[in-house]
Amino acid sequence: MSRKIFLTFLAVISAVNSQSNPCNASSTTVETQADLDILSVCSILTGDLILGTNLVTADINGIRTIQGDLVAANAFDLQRITAPDLAHIGGDFNLTSLTILSHVNIDSLDYAAGLHWRNLPSLTRLEPFYSKLTHSSRFSITDTGLQSFYGPNFTTAENVQFRNNKNLLGIVVNFHNTSGSLAFIDNPLAFIRLPELVLVKNATFRSNSGMELPKLTTVTGSVEFSGNGFETLIIPKLQTIGAGDDPDTEETFSGNLTIVDNKNATTIKMLQLTEIFGNLQFVGNSVENVDGFPLLLDVHGSIDARGNFSKITFPSMRDIRGDFNIQTNAEFDCSDDVDRLAGGIVKGGYFCKGATSRGGSKPTPVGAVVGGTVGGLLVIAAVAGFLFYRRRKVKSRKAGLAGVTVGNSNQLGGIEIVKTPKKAYNVVGGVDAANGAGGIKT
């Protein structure tokens, strides 16, 4: 045997070995439980594991690490996935359109680079695998039958989404900081608790039941609350919105605060909010007295306030760099405001329109405001009727502030702490307040 032939022979042996080593395939598709059992000798699977469309159960034993993806799609007979030893998925863990899948138990999972579950209508309950899941860069739970989702304790989580989970009553996720985006969209029954979240880039809360963000301090991008069912939203610690991640670019970045069409909302308060680098949009909520921003000093963009409120107050406001637009269907005295806005507080246009009120208000747009100072107070108060209007005028004159109704110690010093109403907790069903902040329950 020549040297050349010998070498070729060795190469063939090694190629055969590599191919037949089940742990080392770049991708393995399993169609039966027996196929999976063969893989149970592999503590590390270097490639992808694909659960085929003929599987009825998938009990993945022995495998601790899948370096590629773990995926299952359109396996319409698949009822169960268990993987008690699996701790690490280097790629995506995707479950898509598994219509009768009702049981997923992956108790040891600590890391999955991505986790995307979509269209799992029969998955109503989860074993708490995610209590150990601390890292997942991309995470989405969409169109599932899940009723609750308590956990995980993410230390790294970017781009987390919960969408269109119609049965979901409670979501608790122990995020800390995330430089990514959170989106909770169309989970109409869900009360969302993010008890540890301090800093987030973007956050969208659209069409959920309610939310609780007790530690949220900074939103570097934009935050939206729209179409939610809550009556009360209190964010006690939020200070700045929209400054960007990079302090050097903060002048060019401008995240917005959007609070729109929360039709049942009668109380919305952000008690420590001082600065919004973009716009404040407060439209279509049921708040009667818009007074939930007692410390708001600067809005670098515009304020757009539209609804049925009869009073709107920003007692600490110093600077609105864009427009200030007020439109309300309630009786509202616009004429009263011009003087008090005349401090250069509003750098853009000031527009105000209320329903016609007795008492001689002028419910017409008022142009750009220029003039003297009003001591940092910006207050627009509406009158409910002639008598009240007159009485207020008299009182104001006495106070020497021409009708400023706030700014006294009661309002400025006494930050109101209002408990989340009972109703919000009832909606959750499973979460009890005592167990709340760190609690992971199923």
Other residues' Cβ atoms within 10 Å of the Cβ of residue 261: 17
Applying CB under 6 A, which of residues 104, 187, 196, 303 lies at the interface with ligand NAG?
196
Q: Considering only residues 202, 325, 405, 420, which one is a binding residue for ligand NAG as defined by CB under 6 A?
A: 202
Residue 27 interacts with ligand NAG (CB under 6 A): yes or no: no
Beta-carbon contacts of 362 under 8 Å, excluding residues fewer than 6 positions away, are 334, 335
Phi, psi of 71 (to 5 degrees): -135, 150
Q: To 10 degrees, the CA torsion angle through 412, 416, 417, 421?
A: -150
CA 254 to chain centre: 18
Only segment of 75-83, 100-108, 217-225, 364-372 that touches ligand NAG (CB under 6 A): 217-225
Interface residue with ligand NAG among 193, 201, 300, 340 (CB under 6 A) is 201
**Which of these, 393, 407, 317, lies nearest to 361 by C-alpha position?**
393
- 247's CB contacts (< 8 A; 6+ apart) are none
CA dist 160 and 433 (Å) reads: 24
Exactly one of 105, 264, 272, 335 binds ligand NAG (CB under 6 A); which one? 264
> What is the smallest separation between the CB atom of 131 and ligand NAG, expressed in angstroms?
4
Of the residues 22, 31, 59, 199, which one makes contact with ligand NAG according to CB under 6 A:
199
CB of 89 to ligand NAG, least distance (A): 10
Touching ligand NAG, residues 319-378 (CB under 6 A): 329
Number of residues located near ligand NAG, criterion CB under 6 A: 43
Q: Does 177 contact ligand NAG by CB under 6 A?
A: yes
* 308 touches ligand NAG (CB under 6 A): yes
What is the Cβ-side half-sphere exposure of residue 90, based on CA atoms within 13 angstroms? Answer: 13
User: Judged by CB, which is closer to ligand NAG: 92, or 298?
Assistant: 92
The one among 371, 375, 385, 438 contacting ligand NAG by CB under 6 A: 438
Minimum gap (Å) between residue 320 Cβ and ligand NAG: 15
Instruction: State how far the Cα of 284 lies from the Cα of 264, in Å rounded to an integer.
Output: 10
229 part of the interface to ligand NAG, by CB under 6 A: yes
Cβ atoms of 405 and 381 within 8 Å: the answer is yes
240-241 and 218-219 beta bridge pairing? parallel
Q: Which of 156, 396 has the CB closer to ligand NAG?
A: 156
Q: Is 338 helix (H, G, I), strand (E, B) or coil?
A: helix
Q: Pick from 39, 71, 104, 141: which binds ligand NAG (CB under 6 A)?
A: 71
Give exposure, 346-365, as e/b (b: 16+ Cβ within 10 Å).
bbbebbbbbeebebebbbee
**Reduced DSSP (H G I as helix, E B as strand, rest coil) percent helix, strand, coil of the chain, to 5:** 15, 35, 50
Contact call for residues 241 and 259 (beta carbons, < 8 A): no
Q: Give me the least distance between CB of 342 and ligand NAG, in Å please.
A: 26
Under rule CB under 6 A, residue 442 binds ligand NAG: no
User: Residue holding tokens 């999976």?
Assistant: 36
Stretch of residues binding ligand NAG (CB under 6 A), selected from 28-36, 56-64, 171-179, 312-320: 171-179
Q: Does 61 bind ligand NAG (CB under 6 A)?
A: no
Site for ligand NAG in 405-424 (CB under 6 A): none
- Of 170 and 278, the one with the shorter C-beta distance to ligand NAG is 278
Angle at 15 between CA 9 and CA 16, to 5 degrees: 90
Tokens 């250069």, located at residue? 344
Residue 131 in the binding site for ligand NAG (CB under 6 A): yes
Note the residues at the interface with ligand NAG (CB under 6 A). 17-18, 21, 24, 46, 69, 71, 91-92, 94, 114, 116, 131, 153, 174, 176-177, 180-181, 196, 198-199, 201-202, 218, 221-222, 229, 254-256, 263-264, 278-279, 284-286, 307-308, 329, 438, 440
